[in-house]
Structure 1
């Protein structure tokens, strides 16, 4: 069957390294990414309050840690959550885009996970598009006049659907960029969409479970018109602990490849990949500790700490300027 053939031989991940995309394609994708991030930054600056800052930091740290946990799928391949739909459902589309931009940029710069030139495409695929689906499709279906619905069946259905759709959208965009870089569409699109239809089920279930957890434990965090003091330091501390514990489980992640390297070898463009000009914490490890569980855990904890700090710095910069007039 075509599905078995795809699962066993041709599967794709979503972090594109430098070299896989032709330079004009990679550079072109920076344009919509920069525009979207610029608009998101302006929108967040106008609405940023004390309640949102710790929640954005916790969300970024949690998504970063969760992306380290690959789960196995058919054919010796693994997948990981994206988190963009979840971030936008909780924070709104603009703040969700900022959070996802920080996560993907940190992965590329600090851990060499995804290329630097291809970062614009990766941010758009995994951050902008996924947050747009969560913020502009799922969130309006879950809220009315700023109040989040209490119908758990509806919440589960909408959030699971948004999680699945966000993965499919990211996979389709990645496929289009690879095809524009002279890879065969007849192979790329069926492989990407077939495998990520399965990965999307995991994303949908995790998204639904996470939103339902918040609905049960802290429903106030989901209300658009919640008072500014609702999200306290306690929420930030608890969220940070959850992110740190999640990162500590990274050594238990599936060792199977997430797919892009496999198709590169099978189709014959693996030689396109270019190494990063530097190495800081490559492949989520501490270089002098080697590829050991302790090395992965420490690298993950460093990533969580840096992510929290990055969000707080960005928030401070945004709050240092008066909101732009509409």
Structure 2
């Protein structure tokens, strides 16, 4: 669902940049007020894990692939504001370093996958909790529906933006985007449901209040998962993802424009002859970058808050 440069018109891109910057900034302020220093590294590990998981494209019917979006899982673990921050960091590193999604379209990608994904997942979860309470069967059902709905609504938002940009009629692109991503959303929902069920069993406090950070087993599990995902990255499906497949089928794939610069395109390291090794190393490097960006943003915001508090006392 990563939109490349060239698909969206300036009249669509610029407002989405403003909306995404405003909401992401608000999310960062909320996170810096509500979380402690011990919780921040845990969020960084989850963000790095989502980055690594997004490298694993899985095949869908019709020669199409999909990958975990992760916004619903992050929302169910930490709430929507932390989830928006996580997705913003993941998508920023993907665009800046790996040319996965356009730099000009980054605001739109943050809006579709981060903001829409997190807020929709939160709305689904809270609505089901309000109607059915905290019944035992409700949590996995809510997790599945939150993951599925977040993907489908993010895809429909993407389709609407393509239509507003004059690239393809809405009555053509919306059914195409919704149909393919309804299938991808099933896998997203199953992964989200399985992760929530696992964490509820082994670390119930993660699913009740805020995360408990700093315990070695959680760090070990998180880092091990990231390593496993990056080692599996060379096995990812080579089929086009949902948006790319729709663009090919509807004939607007040629509108995509390459990024202005190229660092580690397509999750490879230029000059390294072993393609599988290059993908694994690029994945590890990207996961470290995402982790570092989460921590740096949070510490920077905390530092500014501390300076303002100190100045107000003098």
- TM-score w.r.t. the length of structure 2 is 0.91
Report the counterpart of residue 79 of structure 1 in structure 2. 66
**TM-aligned CA distance change 1:204 to 1:56, over 3 Å:** same
- Look up the SS of the partner of 1:108 in the other structure: helix
Q: Give the alignment partner of residue 98 of structure 2, picking from 87, 94, 111.
A: 111
- How many aligned residue pairs are there? 305
Report the counterpart of residue 201 of structure 1 in structure 2. 186
Report the counterpart of residue 90 of structure 1 in structure 2. 77
> Which segment drifts farther, 26-35 or 103-112?
26-35
Q: Give the alignment partner of residue 169 of structure 2, picking from 156, 171, 184.
A: 184
Report the counterpart of residue 312 of structure 1 in structure 2. 295
Q: Is the 8 A contact 1:285 1:291 kept in 2?
A: no
Q: Post-superposition shift, 1:39? A: 1.4
- Aligned equivalents of 2:254 and 2:190: distance in 1? 36
Q: Give the alignment partner of residue 164 of structure 1, picking from 132, 139, 148.
A: 148
- Aligned equivalents of 2:135 and 2:304: distance in 1? 37
- Aligned equivalents of 1:132 and 1:122: distance in 2? 15
- Aligned equivalents of 1:41 and 1:317: distance in 2? 10
Q: Post-superposition shift, 1:264? A: 3.2
- Look up the SS of the partner of 2:88 in the other structure: helix
Q: Give the alignment partner of residue 246 of structure 1, picking from 222, 229, 247.
A: 229
Q: Is the 8 A contact 1:92 1:139 kept in 2?
A: no
**TM-aligned CA distance change 1:318 to 1:33, over 3 Å:** same
Q: Give the alignment partner of residue 217 of structure 1, picking from 191, 194, 202.
A: 202
Q: Is the 8 A contact 2:177 2:242 kept in 1?
A: no
- Look up the SS of the partner of 2:68 in the other structure: coil
The answer on 1:102 being equivalent to 2:84 is: no
Structure 2: which 5+ residue stretches go unaligned? 310-314
CA RMSD of aligned residues (A): 2.2
- Aligned equivalents of 2:208 and 2:88: distance in 1? 23
Report the counterpart of residue 312 of structure 2 in structure 1. none
Q: What's the CA shift string for 1:181-240, capped at 9, x where partnerless?
A: 1112222111111111111100100000011110011111223267xxx32141234312
Q: Post-superposition shift, 1:32? A: 1.3
Q: Post-superposition shift, 1:46? A: 1.2
Report the counterpart of residue 260 of structure 1 in structure 2. 243
- Aligned equivalents of 1:29 and 1:137: distance in 2? 23
Report the counterpart of residue 10 of structure 1 in structure 2. none
- Aligned equivalents of 1:271 and 1:295: distance in 2? 28
**TM-aligned CA distance change 1:140 to 1:218, over 3 Å:** farther
Q: Is the 8 A contact 1:48 1:319 kept in 2?
A: no
- Look up the SS of the partner of 1:72 in the other structure: strand
**TM-aligned CA distance change 1:49 to 1:141, over 3 Å:** farther
Q: Give the alignment partner of residue 231 of structure 1, picking from 193, 208, 213.
A: 213
